[in-house]
Amino acid sequence: MTNLPSPTMESEQFFDEEEEVPLEKDSPLHNLILLRTLQEIKAAVETIDVFTVPIPSRSANVVLSSLRAIVPTSLQHLRRLVKPCYIPDSLVDFLAVPTTPPEENILYLLVCPVTDISEENLRNFLQELPAFSTTGVVPRIMTVAVPSSQPISAVQATEWSAKYWPAVYKRGNPYGPHPSIVSQSLRALVDPEKHLRLAKQVATQAASSGEGLGFGAVIVDPQTGQILAAAGDARLRCKEKGWGNPLDHAAMRAIDMVAQRRLGRTQNVRPDNKVEVWDGKYLEDEEAPAKADTKADENSNTENEDKDGDADDRKDDGYLCHNLQVYLSHEPCVMCSMALLHSRVGAVAFGTRMTRTGALNAEEGGRQMGLFWRPELNWKFVCWQWKAEPGEEMKSHENVDA
Contacting positions for Zn ion (CB under 5 A): 249, 332-333, 336
* 372: nearest Cα among 35, 1, 119: 35
Cβ nearer to Zn ion, comparing 83 with 249:
249
C-beta separation of 349 from 31 below 8 A: no
The two most distant CA atoms of the chain are separated, in Å, by 93
User: Closest separation between CB of residue 229 and Zn ion, Å?
Assistant: 15
Residue 351: strand, helix, or coil? strand
- Among left, alpha and beta (phi > 0; psi -120 to 50; other), residue 229 is beta
DSSP classification of residue 15: B
Please answer whether residues 150 and 173 qualify as being in contact, where contact means their C-beta atoms are separated by less than 8 angstroms. Answer: no
Q: How far is the CB of 315 from Zn ion (least distance, A)?
A: 28
Task: Tell the smallest beta-carbon distance from residue 354 to Zn ion (Å).
Answer: 9
Q: Cβ of residue 321: shortest distance to Zn ion, in angstroms?
A: 15
Taking alpha carbons only, the member of 30, 53, 110, 31 closest to residue 78 is 110
We find the least distance from the C-beta atom of residue 377 to Zn ion, in angstroms, to be: 17
d(CA 366, CA 105): 50
Question: How many angstroms separate the CA atoms of 128 and 147, rounded?
Answer: 30
Comparison of 183 and 355: residue with beta carbon closer to Zn ion: 355
Q: Residue 316 or residue 331: which is nearer to Zn ion going by CB?
A: 331
Q: Which is nearer to Zn ion, 60 or 231 (CB)?
A: 231
| Least Å from the CB of residue 214 to Zn ion | 13
Give the span between the Cα atoms of 249 and 244, in whole angstroms.
Answer: 11
Closest CA to 325 of 246, 258, 271: 258
Nearer to Zn ion (CB atom), residue 86 or residue 372: 372
**Smallest gap, in angstroms, from Cβ of residue 196 to Zn ion?**
17
Spatial distance between the Cα atoms of 396 and 184, rounded to a whole number of angstroms: 32
Distance CA 57, CA 3 (A): 10
For Zn ion, which is the closer residue by CB, 249 or 262?
A: 249
Nearest distance from residue 247's CB to Zn ion, in Å?
A: 8
Q: Which is nearer to Zn ion, 333 or 383 (CB)?
A: 333
Report yes or no: 142 and 108 within 8 Å, Cβ to Cβ: no
Sheet of strand 382-386, all strands in order from the earlier edge strand to the far edge: 32-34, 382-386, 347-352, 325-330, 216-221, 226-232
Contacts of residue 34, Cβ cutoff 8 Å, sequence gap at least 6: 182, 186, 382, 383, 384
Which of 386, 382, 348, 384 minimizes the C-alpha distance to 176?
A: 382
CB of 343 to Zn ion, least distance (A): 13
Least distance in angstroms from the C-beta of 283 to Zn ion: 18
The span from the CA of 224 to the CA of 150, in Å, is 38
- Of 99 and 399, the one with the shorter C-beta distance to Zn ion is 399
Q: Which is nearer to Zn ion, 249 or 314 (CB)?
A: 249
Looking at the Cβ atoms of 57 and 352, the one nearer to Zn ion is: 352
Which of 66, 219, 72 is closest to 139 using CA atoms?
Answer: 66
